Structure 1
């Protein structure tokens, strides 16, 4: 029977289009999915009565292949759900395009070190009786056209609520992790006699991006074609937009608690959506997951219990500097060995190593460090540097793909001076290698488009020094020269975007040449102090345990 997952009476349903639980379950593309996975892990640690709901994505996001010129091609990432989860007998239907689409669910149980378990439901339309077209709805994450995306969001939102009901759950809060799942509120209106106050009390909505393209919008013609129900259509027009369906607006209008994912992001969101009040809960990462084995051993020795109480990382000063440096050296050796075996770059263990890894897209500015090669060469003369990149460009992001090719060209142009590597097929395992193995974690987003960012938090957990534009979480985490370094002015500076960019470039090269390099090579004790500060002042706070406690007290209770 399916009631194996009903034992603890799950009360909080966490809906996310993608949830990154492990490399072998490739149902995630990047930050949103990894955050969702960390949310599941932290909830299990804390014993929260939470259940995750997502899509199965049988072909994953995509497997990235890069040729010798950095040209990206995408390949399906086939995997077998049966290797990791159990198919439940429960079945529900969602009407799409005037036909019933059958939906089943696979159960994955995440078990914490505390022995607590959080179940995750992976919704699947590859079910006998569905048409070939409908069976493919849960094949590819972010694949297909607008029609395919809306079908997926109908399965996630409407199908997810129905599946939870079918399984006997009595949910008190539905947490929408981004607008992809906002149609769950439509289903809740149906089930609650269209009572707006009842549904708003049930719903929590978190938005994750100031990028316009990150807020799904669908034409009313498409909505009517797929939903096909006049009363539902009128509800969506009323709460989701008079001229087109905006999934973020739908979530905002049907939730009593709404939040951004950093203090700055709350301000930006209120400008993007005037008239709505946003709260802010700054993201965190799951500490145990994102600490490499060498630092885990160190923390276990000096800070017993840290894995379930990451606040204990505030006591990192009890660890001798030499042991911190040795643990970092071991993590760095693992990364450099991996890079050399994959890319043949002949990098060494002693050179200051800078890492940049995230989704490759325009606002992340992956080639920013190459903006002035003359100044970059001058930096390298002050002290040798080597650069490691990784990241996928969305299959339809032509500009993102061109950025990867540009990095390959810069690597060729500078190969006799600066060693540069680009690692293909960025995933959770490679991410852990990078955030623990580089010396400096570089982040150069175009402000104010970094809602939060979490990779730098992972780096700090491993004593890696952050060097980032003061946007998103880094505005809260950066104490200049103490926990790392900022690139460019604070947000409140009264300058044009062009002037800000020039200030950022100056800061990038100057701080590398006059702060980072001399400290790394000549004042190692001061460098290790910053590494410790990163753990003490960043890792102890920017973790998912703190984040989930705030969701419980501010949004769920």
Structure 2
């Protein structure tokens, strides 16, 4: 039947398709759990896309004879909401007529509480009132959180009209910074190293900072050997992937070069892998091509860049950035020191976050809610080089990576120029010298000091274990206790 197509793909389709998908997720999700006999004590909405959960739950309470106000109060007591993006396009909004039409298709008439339902989602973001899914979630959740400390500040300011008359610092949005599942992203070489030098308790208690201080006990030679092996694995993967494409798909020679076959396994390698979209500024490092070329081709201290990622099918700006980076990868001017690894997926991501030497992130502040790729890199001893946005605004300690922060102001062009110059300065004055400053045994001890601090500071603090504990203790337990009162 035609409606099977609604869940066939995540992206694509028009607004009507989108609202149908969100009704399936929200209304359908509640009904599925009910059919399974599940009775959750707490309902956690991740993003506004799932917010129709609360309307179905309110309706269920009303059908049991409760008033609208009582039903809303009960739903609010047992609902937790996490907002994940400060980018306006990430917050779905629909015409009221479209919402009413499709909810009527799921329920029949909305009845006497139609206006009360619609008021929960009413929001004007400057282009006229619409039914906003994030506004619906904010008004019906007992607890709301953002996904980094800075994102919490942005969210309280961005959604101020939801709480008229409430001072910004009093608006009910807390922050629980995202974290990663370290065992999934750690390379086998790093696991072996940790097993040898840390207590084996690190596997279960990797959110304990005290355990990670023992990283200081790992000899420089062993740590550097592990990092060098991971870089070699990355380049072997890139070469074999390009060879396979050439042999099996008969791709062009230019595409083989762009895939990274000319990269130097011993050169300092910076990775940039994520969704390509405008606010992430994937082309920032190319802002001054002449200065970048001088850094890439410095005598005895070369630098190379590995890009990977995809753009949203409807994001023409993101597609343009991707195409421009690819053109640089095939441009002879850059001499094969820029690569674009296509068909980006989790398999490719593992090699990149484990095998690069530095992880680059340069979003337009403050549009990065959190970001996690830099966490995945840091736990593997790949220091982060980033704008002070998302998690890095609280994660940077001064010695565990590098902060791009020229403290610039002005329009976007002026900020881009200042950020690019600050990036080049860091590369020329700190990052490249530290990597190539070797002792008699060819070990970059100054570099390894940053590597150690990256592992020590990021692994426990930005682990999923810490994050889940925070959700359980700060949000779930409170909501469950409130529901029992």
- TM-score, normalised with respect to structure 1: 0.73
Q: Which runs of 5+ in 1 are unaligned?
A: 1-131
Q: In the alignment, which of 428, 445, 449 is matched to residue 513 of structure 1? A: 428
Aligned ranges 1:30-49 → 2 under 5 Å? none
Aligned ranges 1:523-542 → 2 under 5 Å? 523=438, 524-542=444-462
Give the 3-state SS of the residue equivalent to 2:293 in structure 1. helix
Q: Following TM superposition, by how much is the alpha carbon of 1:334 offset from its aligned partner in structure 2, in angstroms?
A: 1.2
Aligned ranges 1:391-406 → 2 under 5 Å? 391-406=309-324
Residue aligning to 1:556: 476
Give the 3-state SS of the residue equivalent to 1:315 in structure 2. helix
Q: In the alignment, which of 222, 231, 235 is matched to residue 323 of structure 1? A: 222
Q: In the alignment, which of 37, 41, 52 is matched to residue 172 of structure 1? A: 41
8 Å Cα contact 1:380/1:418 also seen in 2: no
Give the 3-state SS of the residue equivalent to 1:175 in structure 2. strand
Give the 3-state SS of the residue equivalent to 2:233 in structure 1. helix
The answer to whether residue 115 in structure 2 is matched with residue 234 in structure 1 is yes
Between the aligned partners of 1:235 and 1:440, the Cα distance in structure 2 is 52
Q: In the alignment, which of 316, 323, 333 is matched to residue 232 of structure 2? A: 333
Q: Following TM superposition, by how much is the alpha carbon of 1:315 offset from its aligned partner in structure 2, in angstroms?
A: 2.4
Q: In the alignment, which of 278, 287, 290 is matched to residue 374 of structure 1? A: 290
8 Å Cα contact 2:260/2:341 also seen in 1: no
Q: In the alignment, which of 29, 32, 39 is matched to residue 160 of structure 1? A: 29
Which stretch has the larger CA shift, 317-326 or 286-295?
A: 317-326
* Structure 1 residues 546 and 314: alpha-carbon distance in aligned structure 2, compared to 1, 3 A threshold: farther
> Which one has more relative contact order, counting CA pairs under 8 Å at least 6 apart?
2
Q: Which runs of 5+ in 2 are unaligned?
A: 63-67, 124-128, 164-170, 243-258, 439-443, 478-485
Between the aligned partners of 1:498 and 1:399, the Cα distance in structure 2 is 16
* Structure 1 residues 413 and 344: alpha-carbon distance in aligned structure 2, compared to 1, 3 A threshold: closer
Give the 3-state SS of the residue equivalent to 1:288 in structure 2. helix
| Structure 1 residues 325-374: Cα deviation after superposition (integer angstroms, max 9, x where no partner) | 11111111111112223225222221000100000111111111111101
Residue aligning to 1:358: 274
Q: Following TM superposition, by how much is the alpha carbon of 1:426 offset from its aligned partner in structure 2, in angstroms?
A: 1.3
The answer to whether residue 395 in structure 2 is matched with residue 485 in structure 1 is no
8 Å Cα contact 2:276/2:318 also seen in 1: yes
Q: Following TM superposition, by how much is the alpha carbon of 1:395 offset from its aligned partner in structure 2, in angstroms?
A: 1.1
Q: Following TM superposition, by how much is the alpha carbon of 1:479 offset from its aligned partner in structure 2, in angstroms?
A: 2.1
Task: Tell me the number of residue pairs that the alignment of Structure 1 and Structure 2 aligns.
Answer: 423
Give the 3-state SS of the residue equivalent to 2:45 in structure 1. strand
- Is the radius of gyration larger for structure 1 or structure 2? 2
Give the 3-state SS of the residue equivalent to 2:307 in structure 1. strand
Between the aligned partners of 1:455 and 1:196, the Cα distance in structure 2 is 38
Q: Which has the higher strand share?
A: 1
- TM-score, normalised with respect to structure 2: 0.84
Q: Which has the higher helix share?
A: 2
8 Å Cα contact 2:262/2:336 also seen in 1: no
Residue aligning to 1:465: 383
Q: Following TM superposition, by how much is the alpha carbon of 1:183 offset from its aligned partner in structure 2, in angstroms?
A: 0.4
Give the 3-state SS of the residue equivalent to 2:339 in structure 1. strand
Q: Following TM superposition, by how much is the alpha carbon of 1:166 offset from its aligned partner in structure 2, in angstroms?
A: 1.6
Give the 3-state SS of the residue equivalent to 1:289 in structure 2. helix
The answer to whether residue 16 in structure 2 is matched with residue 147 in structure 1 is yes
8 Å Cα contact 1:478/1:486 also seen in 2: yes
8 Å Cα contact 1:236/1:245 also seen in 2: no
8 Å Cα contact 1:217/1:246 also seen in 2: yes
Residue aligning to 2:205: 309
8 Å Cα contact 1:237/1:244 also seen in 2: no
Residue aligning to 1:288: 183
